[in-house]
Amino acid sequence: MSDNNLANQEESLMQTYQRFPLTVEKGKGSYLWDDRGKKYLDFTSGIATCNLGHVPDVVKSQIIAQIEELWHCSNLFHIPAQQKLAQLLTTYSFGDQVFFCNSGAEANEAAIKLARKYAKKVKETHAYEVVTFSQSFHGRTLATLSATGQNHVKEDYAPLASGFRHLPYNDFEALNNLVTPDTCAVLVEVVQGEGGVIPADQSWLKQLAAICKENNLLLIFDEVQTGMGRTGTLFAYEQYGVTPDVMTLAKGLGSGIPVGAVIATEEVAKAFGPGTHGTTFGGNPIACTAGIATLNYMIENDVCSTTTELGEYLSQQLQQLKEQCPVIEKVQGKGLLQGMALKIPAKDIVNKARGQGVLLLTAGSHVLRVLPPLTTTYEEIDEFISKLYSVLFQVETERGTLR
C-alpha cells in the first residue's frame, strides 16, 4: 500500500494515538513484519498482551474450532467455555467467582462498582471512596481515569468522577492517611506499569493489606498488566505474601483476543446479584476459548518458571548495559516486565531502536519499558541486548559520555 493511500485511510480514524511510522501485517512468536517485509523483534508484546507470542498455534487451533461452532450468544444463557475458564481462574488463584468483560478498564470499572455495592449491600454502610496511588494507571473510562494517579491523562475531562483519593505509592507515612469514614476499598497495582515499571515494596504492601483487613476495607489488585505470568508467577500477588479480596485481569488472558476478568472471594462477589452489572460481549465463547487455551498452555508447560529464569537473565543484561551507559539511571521490574529509567526522553531510544528492527515502549517520559513475550528465548534476548547497545552506543557517543 502506498504512503498516500495509507495517509488517506488514516484521515478516517480519530487521532487518539501517536502512531509509529509502521504498518504491521504479520506476526509470529517474538517477531512482527511490516507491509514492506521488514522483520522486527517485538519486545512490546502488544503492551503485555501477546504473552505466548504472536499467533500461538495452541490458541489459534482452539479459536478456529470454536469459530466453527458458535461466535456469540447472550449472557442470559449458560456458556460452557465461560464456565470452564472461570473454574480454571478460581482453581489457580485466591478467588471463588469471576465476572468476564472485554478489557482492563472494564474490569477495573466493574471492581469499583463491586466495592461500592459490597459496602452498601453487605456491610450496610454509606462508604463509597476508593483510594488509589500516584502514578497509577487503571484505564480510560471516566471512572477508571478518575482512579488513575496521573494528571496528564486527565486534561480536559473535568469534572471527573468523584469518590477517589490518591496517596503516594510505596510511602509508609502516607498509609496513616489511608482510612476515612467514607473509604470502602483500596485499588493498587502490584507493579506499576504505565507509571514507570515500579514494583511495590513488599513491606509497604503488607502494611497496606493489614490496614485494609483491620478496617474491613476491600483490597483490590489491578493485575491487568502483571497477571498471566508476566512477572514470573501466574499472578504477581503470589510473590508478596499478600492476598487481595478482588483482582482484575485482561491483556495476557486471551493472547490478544479481547477478554477481561474480575476475580473475587465468594463473600465479596455476593454483592453482585442479577441485574447489578452486565456486558454484551464479555465472556463470549471465542474470548473464553482463547483464555482457556492460554491458561492451560501456561500451566501444562510451566511457563512461569521459564519466565522467572528469562526475567533474571534479561535483568542482568540490562544491569550490565547500565554499567556501560551513563544515560541509564536505573533498571527495575519483575520477570519479563522490566523498565529502564533514562536521563533522556525514552521515546528517543524507542525511535532509534525501531530503526534497528527492535520494538519497545515507554512508561512515562523517561522510562523505557521492555516487554518480551513469555515464550522468548535467550538468543532473542541476546539479539535485543546487542541492538539496544548499538543504539545506546550511538547516543553515548553523541553525548561524549560512553564508559
* Dist. CA 276–CA 37, nearest whole Å: 49
Nearest to 56 by CA among 296, 358, 361, 312: 296
| Residue 38 grid coordinates | 521488514
pLDDT at residue number 402: 61
| Helix/strand/coil for 283 | coil
Do 33 and 27 meet the contact criterion of CB atoms below 8 Å apart?
yes
pLDDT at residue number 1: 46
- Partners of 99 in the β-ladder: 262
Q: In what side-by-side order are the strands of the sheet with 361-362?
A: 328-334, 337-342, 367-370, 361-362
Do 186 and 200 meet the contact criterion of CB atoms below 8 Å apart?
no
The angle formed by the CA atoms of residues 318, 323 and 324, to the nearest 5 degrees, is: 95
Residue 80: CA count within 13 A, CB half-sphere: 4
Its pTM stands at 0.96
273-277 contact pairs (CB < 8 A, 24+): 276/113, 276/117, 277/99, 277/110, 277/113, 277/114
* Dist. CA 292–CA 254, nearest whole Å: 8
Q: Which helix (H) or strand (E) holds 24?
A: strand 24-28
Per-domain residue ranges of the chain: 3-56+302-399, 57-300
pLDDT in single tens digits along all 403 residues of the chain: 445 555 556 789 999 999 999 999 999 999 999 999 999 999 999 999 999 999 999 999 999 999 999 999 999 999 999 999 999 999 999 999 999 999 999 999 999 999 999 999 999 999 999 999 999 999 999 999 999 999 999 999 999 999 999 999 999 999 999 999 999 999 999 999 999 999 999 999 999 999 999 999 999 999 999 999 999 999 999 999 999 999 999 999 999 999 999 999 999 999 999 999 999 999 999 999 999 999 999 999 999 999 999 999 999 999 999 999 999 999 999 999 999 999 999 999 999 999 999 999 999 999 999 999 999 999 999 999 999 999 999 988 887 766 5
Counting runs of H as helices and runs of E as strands, what totals does the chain give?
A: 12, 17
Q: Is the preceding omega at residue 373 within 30 degrees of 0, hence cis?
A: no
Place of cell 513488599: 202
Nearest to 299 by CA among 70, 128, 58, 101: 58
| Residue 341 grid coordinates | 529509567
Q: What is the CA radius of gyration of the chain?
A: 21
* Dist. CA 357–CA 321, nearest whole Å: 19
| Residue 285 grid coordinates | 465463547
Amino acid (one-letter) located at 376: T
| Helix/strand/coil for 33 | strand
Please count the residues of the chain.
Answer: 403
- Partners of 167 in the β-ladder: 133
Place of cell 512508561: 363
The DSSP result for 354-398, as a single string, is: HHTTEE-EESSTTEEEE---TT--HHHHHHHHHHHHHHHHHHHHH
Place of cell 462477589: 269
DSSP code of residue 236: G
- The CATH class for the domain spanning 57-300 reads alpha beta
Do 224 and 107 meet the contact criterion of CB atoms below 8 Å apart?
yes
**Fold designation for 3-56+302-399:** Aspartate Aminotransferase, domain 1 (3.90.1150)
pLDDT at residue number 403: 59
Nearest to 225 by CA among 265, 186, 198, 185: 198
